[in-house]
Amino acid sequence: MNEFVVLAVVIVLALGAYWSLVIFPRQREFQKQQKYVRQLHAGDEMITFGGIIGRVQTIDADAGIALVEIADGVVVRMVTASLLRPYDPEELEEAARAAQARPTSSETAG
């Protein structure tokens, strides 16, 4: 009987750790992304899940679909869940510079 209680406590602790380390951060990220999509308006520039930069034309929140212009005259229908974040050229430039300044594993190994 005592072993069963210890096993039950260990399982509960493991599930709690899994939830706090895996599930909770994903839920927070999903909620943050959903909040971003709800705040989008026509004309906003954003980056898609695939890394495409586009300008929102219209959003049908009920259907979860957005019309996004990815080039002059090229408008695609996209699932709103794939609209990740606002397009900020300075932020992307900084990230690219930081990535170039970081040594790769092959440079540090040899």
> Tens-of-pLDDT digits for all 110 residues of the chain?
788 889 999 999 999 988 888 888 888 888 888 888 888 888 999 999 888 999 999 998 888 899 999 999 999 999 988 888 888 888 888 888 888 887 766 655 55
Domains, in order of start, for the chain: 2-89 (2.30.30.140)
User: Which pLDDT value is given to residue 77?
Assistant: 95
Counting Cβ atoms within 10 Å, is residue 15 exposed (0-12), middle (13-18) or buried (19+)?
exposed
User: Which pLDDT value is given to residue 85?
Assistant: 85
Provide the token pair at 21: 């380390």
User: Which pLDDT value is given to residue 25?
Assistant: 87
Name residue 58's beta-bridge partners: 67
